[in-house]
Amino acid sequence: MGVSDPLSVIALRSKPRVILLDPSLRISFVDWSAMLTLLRFCDDPSKPMEYLPERLAVPVREAVAQWQDGETGDVILEPMPEVVLRITPITGVAGTYVALFVEERARRDDVREAIKRFLLTRREAEVLTLILQGRSGAEIASELGIAQSTVGDHFKKLIHKTDAKNRTDMIARVLGWMDRNQTA
């Protein structure tokens, strides 16, 4: 399967890249593709990386301070023209961690364009975003706090609005690889 194959491109563009930071903002986990992004911010990429480069650490500290002040929601950081970082708190049994999701600007723009082109509601756009990240119906339901049958309803609306035949066809249309008049 080559990179020109639509399913391969979708897989490459939709894989979430994540960096997890402990409460002291020390790197707890980073996947290899997110590490490649981090290295672009380092003064000396040959040194082992225990903490975020300062250029990223400052806005992450500011986001954590906002959450401690009671503000909620993700913080979006755009450190490079082609990269967007979505910073969000993750609370679990082991405490609160900070997750940085590394997103390609092109994928974020794809969803913005799809909202306009297909007249999507806010919830349909949220479901579409999670579909583009490769999430299953159950994962989408859990993340959005809705029933899996409701996710199915939104999915059916997305299929109808994009005039697609199936999930792959819908994604191809959203990403602009196929217009409404072409068949899969």
CATH number for the domain harbouring residue 140: 1.10.10.10
Element (H, E) at 138: helix 137-144
* Structural domain includes residue 56: yes
Find the radius of gyration of the CA atoms of the chain.
18
Can you give the pLDDT at residue 146? 92
Q: Are residues 162 and 95 in the same domain?
A: no
User: Do 82 and 158 have their domain in common?
Assistant: no
Q: Which of 72-81, 156-165, 171-180 has the lowest mean pLDDT?
A: 171-180
> What pLDDT does 180 receive?
46
Q: What is the CATH number of the domain that holds 88?
A: 3.30.450.20
Which residues have CB under 8 Å from 105's CB, separation 6+? 78, 81, 82, 83, 84
As a whole number, mean pLDDT of residues 142-148 equals: 90
10, part of any domain: no
Residue 94 shares a structural domain with residue 38: yes
Using the Cα atoms of residue 23, residue 24, residue 28 and residue 30 in order, give the sign of their dihedral. positive
Q: Same domain, yes or no, for 89 and 41?
A: yes
Question: Is residue 92 domain-shared with residue 129, that is, in the same domain?
Answer: no
Q: What is the pLDDT of residues 55-72, one digit of tens each?
A: 788 888 888 888 777 777
Higher pLDDT, 45 or 5: 45
> In the prediction, which pLDDT does 109 show?
57
**89 in a structural domain:** yes
Tell me, yes or no, whether 5 lies in a domain. Answer: no
Residue 33, pLDDT > 60, answer yes
Question: In this predicted structure, what is the pLDDT of residue 151?
Answer: 94
Question: Considering the domain boundaries, does residue 114 fall inside one?
Answer: no
Residues 32 and 87 in one domain: yes
pLDDT at 11 over 60: no
Mean pLDDT of the chain: 77
- What total number of domains does the chain contain? 2
In a domain, 2, yes or no: no
- Report d(CA 118, CA 125) in Å as an integer: 10
Structural domain of residue 132, as residue ranges? 119-174
User: Both 82 and 137 in a single domain?
Assistant: no
Domain finish residue from 104, 128, 145: 104
Contact 29, 20 (CB under 8 A): yes
Pair (84, 137) in one structural domain = no
Name the residue with higher pLDDT: 167 or 108.
167
Does residue 181 sit within a domain?
no
Count the Cβ atoms, other than its own, within 10 Å of residue 182: 11
